């Protein structure tokens, strides 16, 4: 089985309360794990490549922890789309 390694050097979360930041980070990590575990995704990323900067555009955000979780999941899906070679 192939192995995918994703390094995010820095995640800056300005304006988030500590609980919201943790919820967002956990949701991002969890959703990225799910997306990267998909066999079709693994096949598409079989070759090494670098993406130095990934601009995600406008992203919806609702208030509170639930909004932060939704934002983290949405961000993970958008990152995965942007990383495809």
Cα of 39 vs its chain's centroid, Å: 18
33 lies in a domain? yes
12 lies in a domain? no
Nearest residue to 34 (alpha-carbon basis) of 6, 9, 8, 62? 6
Residue 64 belongs to domain spanning: 18-83
Does position 4 have pLDDT exceeding 70, yes or no?
A: no
Let me know: does 53 contact 9? Beta carbons within 8 Å. no
13 lies in a domain? no
Q: What is d(CA 13, CA 24) in angstroms, rounded to the nearest whole number?
A: 9
Does position 2 have pLDDT exceeding 70, yes or no?
A: no
- What's the pLDDT score for residue 23? 92
5 lies in a domain? no
pLDDT tens digit sequence for 7-43: 777 888 888 889 998 998 999 889 888 887 777 766 6
- What's the pLDDT score for residue 82? 67
pLDDT tens digit sequence for 49-83: 666 666 667 777 788 888 888 888 888 887 777 66
Helix pair angle (18-37, 64-83), 10° resolution: 40
CA angle 32, 62, 38 (to 5 degrees): 15
Q: For tokens 């794990």, what's the residue?
A: 33
7 lies in a domain? no
Return the percentage of the chain with pLDDT > 70, whole number: 69
Task: Tally the domains of the chain.
Answer: 1
């Amino acid at each position: 089985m192939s192995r995918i390694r994703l390094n995010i050097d820095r995640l800056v979360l300005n304006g988030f309360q500590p609980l919201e930041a943790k919820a967002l980070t956990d949701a991002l990590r969890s959703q990225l794990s799910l997306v990267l575990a998909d066999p079709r995704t693994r096949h598409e990323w079989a070759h090494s490549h670098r993406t130095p900067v990934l601009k995600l555009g406008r992203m919806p955000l609702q208030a509170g922890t639930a909004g932060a979780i939704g934002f983290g999941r949405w961000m993970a899906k958008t990152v995965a789309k942007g990383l495809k070679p």
